[in-house]
Amino acid sequence: PNLLAFGEVDETIGVKDQMMVRRSDIHVLNISTGKHSALPGASSPERVENLPYWSPDGKRIVFLRTKPGQMWHGAAGQLDLAWVAYNGGKGGKAQALKGGSDNGRSNFMPVYSPDGKWIVFTQADQGFFSQESADLYIVAADGGPARAMDCNSSHTESWHRFSPDGKW
């Protein structure tokens, strides 16, 4: 409860709805001490990492990542999902989330279910934010085949959260 994960962006280039992030890492802030540091495994110079989400048990953080210099806001670029163990702040090797990565589409906004068994995320043809092709997908927290959710429509689905009891 005293830890906050966030994406620390070092540099962005762009205007309006096209933005390129050249460097971003996942940091964890200790609210009690006010100190923060990059999380090993989620702070790779070969990747841009952002939008972290804690597992309910506090053991893992899931996040989006892409290659440096790739457009990731607006209609271009592709994002993948990965997770890393928190491991008391020592982190570990980031693991691609099977079902939410390496699928030729853009995957973003991962959210754990309250019981920690599932991750719901947005998937679009490419890009990030307000893409017409954006739909919600669900995958087991350990990865596997992702399936489109029944609530998807011909409109954009994103910015999702679970209800506290996990039923909605």
Query: Is the Cα dihedral 39, 41, 47, 50 positive or negative?
Result: negative
46 pLDDT above the threshold of 80: yes
Tokens for 102, please give them: 């390496």
15 pLDDT above the threshold of 60: no
Going by C-alpha positions, the residue among 91, 87, 111 that lies closest to residue 161 is 111
pLDDT: which is higher, 118 or 24: 118
72 pLDDT above the threshold of 80: no
114-118, 133-137, 152-156, 159-163: lowest mean pLDDT where?
152-156
pLDDT: which is higher, 56 or 22: 56
